[in-house]
Amino acid sequence: MARPHGNNSAASVRPDDRSRGADPLAARREFMAKVVALACGGLATIPPVVAGLWAFLDPLRRTRGAASFLSVADLAAIPDDGLPRQFPVIADRVDAWTGFAAEPVGAVYLSREQGSREVRALSATCPHAGCFIDLEKATQCFRCPCHNSSFTLDGNIVNPSPSPRAMDELECRVGGNGQVEVKWQKYRAGIAEKVVQG
């Protein structure tokens, strides 16, 4: 079967640029064809790429809601012996499309001195890399299980420590009804300054 236009190799028919170049009109036409081809191909590719990146960057538009005071415990539930106790923080939470009503969203350590109505609240999130800090009963100190950052019961750094700063203290107030309220806030991890996470 004759296949005059069948099996060919690109090498055998390299385009002869010089012959085209000899005709300035043909050269210009070929140049225009290249420009228009690239333009059309490029334009056709823009919508999916732009739409994709537009949607992909959507998380950057999202912000954490303003921090608010959340009721975490009854004053009577915090023994006035100066020792911190762990309490869960309950809050409504939205995860993209799902709304969770009154869910545990984290934990705080609360303590108060003898006879005092003032409560000290420390975030249980390690300022180093965000792990959950344990309260070690045996050694009477806070210790992060991930990289062994240690803190005193006041939340101060015990050196040497991977954590660049002391445990994050949260604003805390006691309402007239004895409800302890904590301003539930997250701070950026890994830096020496205490900066609110946006």
Query: Which residues make up the interface to another protein (CB under 8 A)?
Result: 1, 3, 5-8, 10-11, 13-15, 30, 33-34, 36-41, 43-45, 47-58, 61, 94, 96-101
Tell me whether residue 56 or residue 177 sits nearer to another protein (CB atom).
Answer: 56
Residue 32: CB minimum distance to another protein, A: 9
Residue 102: CB minimum distance to another protein, A: 12
Residue 66: CB minimum distance to another protein, A: 15
Residue 197: CB minimum distance to another protein, A: 22
Residue 68: CB minimum distance to another protein, A: 15
Tell me whether residue 76 or residue 101 sits nearer to another protein (CB atom).
Answer: 101
Contact present, 153 and 111 (Cβ < 8 Å): yes
Tell me whether residue 58 or residue 193 sits nearer to another protein (CB atom).
Answer: 58
Residues 154, 135: Cα–Cα separation, whole Å: 12
Tell me whether residue 1 or residue 25 sits nearer to another protein (CB atom).
Answer: 1
User: Which residues 6+ apart lie within 8 Å of 144 measured at CB?
Assistant: 126, 128, 131, 132, 133, 134, 150, 163
Tell me whether residue 7 or residue 159 sits nearer to another protein (CB atom).
Answer: 7
